[in-house]
């Protein structure tokens, strides 16, 4: 009897515990009525997704060097040397690059020489004592932010962490009293900034306020860039004001692509382990990387330097188009430098070539370009094709229609544990096609790692396209010139009755948010 009572008591205890455990389970594992796929980590921060969507934007190197002819000012230049010959016109910069299909820009407002293009409270080495009235009046970050907002363009600033003018450089006071405060001043020029740009900046030879300076030779001040700039606090402080501002380079939220010539690896993962010194990792990312660290390619649109120099010329629109294919088309972003001249404007030949680039992007890849309408826009043949997929994820939300609905938040996908899939596009009559564009919904991580493209002219015989290219990663965006060449990419195209994309391997079930064929 006693035994029975004990058993009854234990049973009574177990029931509520059992019920509790079940309740707990229910709250811990949220219902997944939509059968949404799990993210494949690492995944981007929301601000990195917004940044990636900017895709193609300008770099404007302008400042003291524009007037000395140098690329790296020493820091000993008198403020009066900065003497624009006309009123600097950032609105002209912004509208010119908008006509090239760009979605924003970054203005250099302090280069390594330390001269600030705004009336900063942190140093007297700024425009207040510039050598012309235009120079004293034009607050570049203010005008640039205003112009960008007016023309619906994204904007941000380049501020060199290395400062060859500041006597504080190399000491703690530089970081706390100069650099962080300058970044905060700049953040205050617009809470909607999309990127702040910091180069490698390890220090070196410089004027440093005249300490140890004799006969034009200064001191060497080197720092450990990985700890000196107090990046964790810098990031936090800038994000208080500008929450969507990605901190590039030493800021750790986007990585250098490893060259300044305008190309990324054909294989390009948006992940790395950390900021690496290895250029092949910079160019291709790392499939096993555990930090979301997407690539940005900084390239010069002109021959020669980053700053304006007499006689340097912008490359042809075709060459710039190639850079676009090799960066934006390979899961990186492209920040293309066009330097304003001593009048504070982009030279006319640059403006003309940028407009020609805009026309190429619009007519070949349907890039939206201000001022150009659908009459000159490339036709997206994915929209007129009958699309067949061999698999569709259960749940009713991952249908093939999401591939062509123009909405990047919807996607097609396959079931968990499936790593392959085939998408076939068929046209009533053959179409002349040249480019394939694919996008993954990166908020769920970068997944696809191998694919193959084939076409058929008669609908039954298949030929593989661009077998010479690494058809590996997709990521935020992949643009494949179907003839396998980025340099002579337009060509005659392929007369296709069918186009077949076979995803051959993926880190997790493959998903695609967008598909275009031009
Ligand atoms: C580099 C700088 O040293 C160059 O002068 C230029 O500004 C380039 C974009 O970044 O690190």
Tell me: the pLDDT tens digits for 380-394? 999 999 999 999 999
Q: Is residue 185 part of a domain?
A: yes
Residue 311 DSSP class: T
What is the 288 CA–ligand 1 centroid distance (Å)?
A: 29
Q: Which of 376, 400, 418 is the last residue of a domain?
A: 376
Residue of minimum CA distance from atom 3 in ligand 1:
199
Instruction: Report H helices in 102-162.
Output: 133-137, 140-150
* Residue 393 structural domain: 381-517
Q: How far is CA 113 from the centre of its chain?
A: 26
E strand intervals along 54-150:
56-60, 104-110
Q: Which ligand 1 atom lies nearest to the CA of residue 71?
A: 5
Residue of minimum CA distance from atom 4 in ligand 1:
306
Q: What is the mean pLDDT of the chain?
A: 94
pLDDT of residue 194: 98
Q: Tell me, yes or no, whether 210 and 232 share the same domain.
A: yes
Summarised one tens digit per residue, pLDDT across range 182-228 is 999 999 999 999 999 998 778 999 999 999 999 989 999 999 988 99
What is the 72 CA–ligand 1 centroid distance (Å)?
A: 8
Q: Tell me, yes or no, whether 116 and 256 share the same domain.
A: yes
Q: Tell me, yes or no, whether 322 and 389 share the same domain.
A: no
Give the C-alpha distances (Å, rounded to integers) separating 78 from 131, 150, 169, 207, 411.
9, 34, 18, 12, 57
CATH number at residue 475: 2.60.120.260
CB 167 within 8 A of CB 206: no
What is the 448 CA–ligand 1 centroid distance (Å)?
A: 33
pLDDT of residue 29: 65
What is the 334 CA–ligand 1 centroid distance (Å)?
A: 15
Distance between CA atoms of 128 and 148, rounded to whole angstroms?
24
What is the 272 CA–ligand 1 centroid distance (Å)?
A: 22
pLDDT of residue 277: 81
What is the 111 CA–ligand 1 centroid distance (Å)?
A: 8
Whether ligand 1 lies within 6 angstroms of the CB of 440 is answered as no
Distance between CA atoms of 214 and 129, rounded to whole angstroms?
24
Q: What are the residues whose beta carbons fall under 8 Å from the beta carbon of 10, sequence distance 6 or more?
A: none
Tokens of 122: 């942190």
Q: Tell me, yes or no, whether 389 and 364 share the same domain.
A: no
Distance between CA atoms of 351 and 310, rounded to whole angstroms?
16
Helix (H) or strand (E) holding 433: strand 421-433
Q: Which ligand 1 atom lies nearest to the CA of residue 199?
A: 11
For the packed helices 231-241 and 180-187, what is the interaxial angle rounded to 10 degrees?
20
Q: Which of 330, 351, 376 is the last residue of a domain?
A: 376
Residue 142 DSSP class: H
CATH number at residue 249: 3.20.20.80
pLDDT of residue 200: 75
pLDDT of residue 491: 86
Q: Tell me, yes or no, whether 116 and 163 share the same domain.
A: yes
pTM: 0.93
pLDDT of residue 239: 96
Distance between CA atoms of 125 and 128, rounded to whole angstroms?
8
Give the C-alpha distances (Å, rounded to integers) separating 346 from 92, 104, 440.
7, 16, 36
Distance between CA atoms of 349 and 370, rounded to whole angstroms?
19
What is the 47 CA–ligand 1 centroid distance (Å)?
A: 24
Q: Is residue 269 part of a domain?
A: yes
Residue 116 DSSP class: B
Q: Tell me, yes or no, whether 286 and 404 share the same domain.
A: no
CB 163 within 8 A of CB 202: no
Q: Which ligand 1 atom lies nearest to the CA of residue 306?
A: 6
CB 294 within 8 A of CB 255: yes
What phi, psi does 193 have (nearest 5°)? -60, 145
Give the C-alpha distances (Å, rounded to integers) separating 494 from 195, 360, 385, 408, 460.
39, 19, 15, 27, 15
Q: How far is CA 300 from the centre of its chain?
A: 16
Whether ligand 1 lies within 6 angstroms of the CB of 199 is answered as yes
Q: Is residue 114 part of a domain?
A: yes
Distance between CA atoms of 494 and 432, rounded to whole angstroms?
5
Q: Is residue 249 part of a domain?
A: yes
pLDDT by residue for the chain (518 residues), tens digit each?
444 544 544 444 444 444 444 445 555 667 899 999 999 999 999 999 999 999 999 999 999 999 999 999 999 999 999 999 999 999 999 999 999 999 999 999 999 999 999 999 999 999 999 999 999 999 999 999 999 999 999 999 999 999 999 999 999 999 999 999 999 999 999 999 999 999 877 899 999 999 999 998 999 999 998 899 999 999 999 999 999 999 998 888 999 999 999 999 999 999 999 767 888 899 999 999 999 999 999 999 999 999 999 999 999 999 999 999 999 999 999 999 999 999 999 999 999 999 999 999 999 999 999 999 999 999 999 999 999 999 999 999 999 999 999 999 999 999 999 999 999 999 999 999 999 999 999 999 999 999 999 999 999 999 999 999 999 999 999 999 999 999 977 889 999 999 999 999 999 999 999 999 99
pLDDT of residue 408: 95
Q: Which of 376, 394, 424 is the last residue of a domain?
A: 376
Whether ligand 1 lies within 6 angstroms of the CB of 296 is answered as no
Q: What are the residues whose beta carbons fall under 8 Å from the beta carbon of 315, sequence distance 6 or more?
A: 301, 302, 303, 353
Q: Is residue 452 part of a domain?
A: yes
Summarised one tens digit per residue, pLDDT across range 39-53 is 999 999 999 999 999
Residue 211 DSSP class: T
What is the 178 CA–ligand 1 centroid distance (Å)?
A: 20
pLDDT of residue 18: 44
Q: Tell me, yes or no, whether 71 and 111 share the same domain.
A: yes
What is the 260 CA–ligand 1 centroid distance (Å)?
A: 9
What is the 37 CA–ligand 1 centroid distance (Å)?
A: 41
Q: Tell me, yes or no, whether 364 and 437 share the same domain.
A: no
Q: Is 288 exposed, middle or buried (0-12, 13-18, 19+ CB in 10 A)?
A: exposed
Is the backbone peptide bond immediately before 42 cis, with ω within 30 degrees of 0? yes
Q: Is residue 404 part of a domain?
A: yes
CA 182, 96, 476 angle in degrees (round to 5)?
A: 75
Whether ligand 1 lies within 6 angstroms of the CB of 266 is answered as no
pLDDT of residue 490: 84
Q: Is residue 8 part of a domain?
A: no
Q: Which ligand 1 atom lies nearest to the CA of residue 108?
A: 7
Q: Which ligand 1 atom lies nearest to the CA of residue 111?
A: 7
Q: Which ligand 1 atom lies nearest to the CA of residue 249?
A: 11
Whether ligand 1 lies within 6 angstroms of the CB of 298 is answered as yes
What is the 304 CA–ligand 1 centroid distance (Å)?
A: 13
Q: Tell me, yes or no, whether 261 and 283 share the same domain.
A: yes
Distance between CA atoms of 497 and 432, rounded to whole angstroms?
9
Q: Tell me, yes or no, whether 57 and 156 share the same domain.
A: yes
What is the 416 CA–ligand 1 centroid distance (Å)?
A: 45
Q: Tell me, yes or no, whether 405 and 450 share the same domain.
A: yes
Tokens of 410: 């919807």
Whether ligand 1 lies within 6 angstroms of the CB of 306 is answered as yes
Distance between CA atoms of 515 and 441, rounded to whole angstroms?
12
Task: Determine the longest span between alpha carbons in the chain, in angstroms.
Answer: 105
What is the 89 CA–ligand 1 centroid distance (Å)?
A: 23
Distance between CA atoms of 245 and 240, rounded to whole angstroms?
10
Question: Mapping DSSP to helix (H, G, I), strand (E, B) and coil, where does residue 256 land?
Answer: strand
pLDDT of residue 201: 77
Q: For a ligand 1 pocket test, name from 306, 334, 335 the mutation site with the most ligand atoms within 8 angstroms of its C-beta.
A: 306
Distance between CA atoms of 299 and 56, rounded to whole angstroms?
11
Q: For a ligand 1 pocket test, name from 195, 199, 301 the mutation site with the most ligand atoms within 8 angstroms of its C-beta.
A: 199
Whether ligand 1 lies within 6 angstroms of the CB of 200 is answered as yes
Q: Which ligand 1 atom lies nearest to the CA of residue 298?
A: 9
Q: Is residue 94 part of a domain?
A: yes
Q: Tell me, yes or no, whether 436 and 496 share the same domain.
A: yes
Task: Give the count of domains, the chain.
Answer: 2
């Amino acid at each position: 009897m006693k035994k029975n009572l004990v058993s009854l008591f234990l049973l009574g205890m177990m029931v509520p515990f059992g019920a509790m455990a079940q309740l707990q389970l229910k709250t811990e594992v949220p219902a997944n009525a939509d059968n949404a796929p799990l993210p494949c980590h690492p995944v981007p921060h929301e601000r990195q997704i917004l940044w990636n969507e900017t895709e193609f934007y300008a770099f404007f190197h302008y400042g003291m060097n524009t007037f000395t002819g140098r690329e790296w000012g020493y820091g000993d230049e008198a403020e009066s040397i900065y003497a624009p010959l006309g009123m600097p016109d950032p609105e002209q910069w912004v509208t010119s690059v908008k006509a090239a299909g760009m979605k924003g820009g970054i203005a250099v407002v302090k280069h390594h020489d330390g001269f600030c293009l705004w009336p900063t409270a942190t140093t007297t080495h700024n425009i207040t004592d510039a050598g012309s009235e235009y120079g004293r009046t034009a607050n570049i970050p203010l005008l640039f932010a205003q112009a960008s907002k007016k023309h619906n363009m994204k904007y941000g600033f380049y501020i060199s962490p290395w400062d060859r003018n500041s006597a504080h450089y190399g000491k703690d006071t530089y970081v706390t009293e100069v650099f962080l405060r300058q970044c905060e001043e700049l953040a205050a020029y617009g809470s909607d900034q999309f990127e702040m740009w910091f180069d490698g900046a390890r220090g070196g030879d410089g004027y440093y306020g005249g300490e140890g300076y004799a006969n034009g030779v200064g001191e060497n001040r080197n720092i450990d860039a990985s700890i000196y700039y107090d990046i964790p606090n810098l990031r936090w402080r800038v994000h208080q004001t500008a929450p969507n501002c990605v901190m590039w380079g030493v800021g750790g939220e986007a990585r250098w692509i490893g060259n300044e010539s305008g190309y990324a690896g054909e294989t390009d993962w948006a992940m790395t382990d950390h900021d690496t010194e290895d250029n092949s990792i910079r160019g291709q990312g790392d499939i096993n990387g555990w930090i979301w660290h997407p690539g940005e390619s900084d390239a010069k649109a002109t021959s020669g330097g980053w700053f304006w120099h007499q006689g340097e010329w912008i490359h042809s629109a075709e060459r710039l188009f190639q850079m676009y294919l090799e960066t934006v088309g390979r899961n990186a972003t492209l920040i293309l430098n066009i330097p304003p001249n001593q009048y504070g404007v982009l030279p006319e030949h640059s403006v003309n070539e940028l407009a020609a680039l805009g026309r190429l992007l619009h007519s070949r890849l349907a890039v939206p370009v201000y001022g150009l309408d659908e009459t000159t826009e490339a036709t997206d043949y994915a929209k007129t094709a009958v699309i067949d997929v061999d698999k569709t994820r259960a749940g009713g939300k991952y249908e093939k229609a999401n591939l062509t609905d123009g909405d990047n938040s919807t996607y097609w996908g396959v079931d968990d544990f499936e790593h392959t899939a085939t998408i076939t596009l068929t046209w009533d009559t053959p179409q002349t096609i040249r480019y394939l564009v694919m996008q993954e919904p990166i908020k769920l991580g970068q997944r696809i790692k191998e694919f193959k493209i084939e076409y058929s002219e008669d609908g039954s015989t298949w030929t593989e396209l661009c077998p010479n290219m690494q058809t590996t990663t997709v990521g935020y965006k992949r643009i494949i010139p179907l003839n396998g060449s980025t340099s002579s990419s337009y060509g005659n195209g392929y007369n296709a009755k069918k186009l077949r994309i076979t995803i051959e391997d993926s880190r997790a079930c493959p998903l695609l948010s967008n598909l275009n064929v031009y």
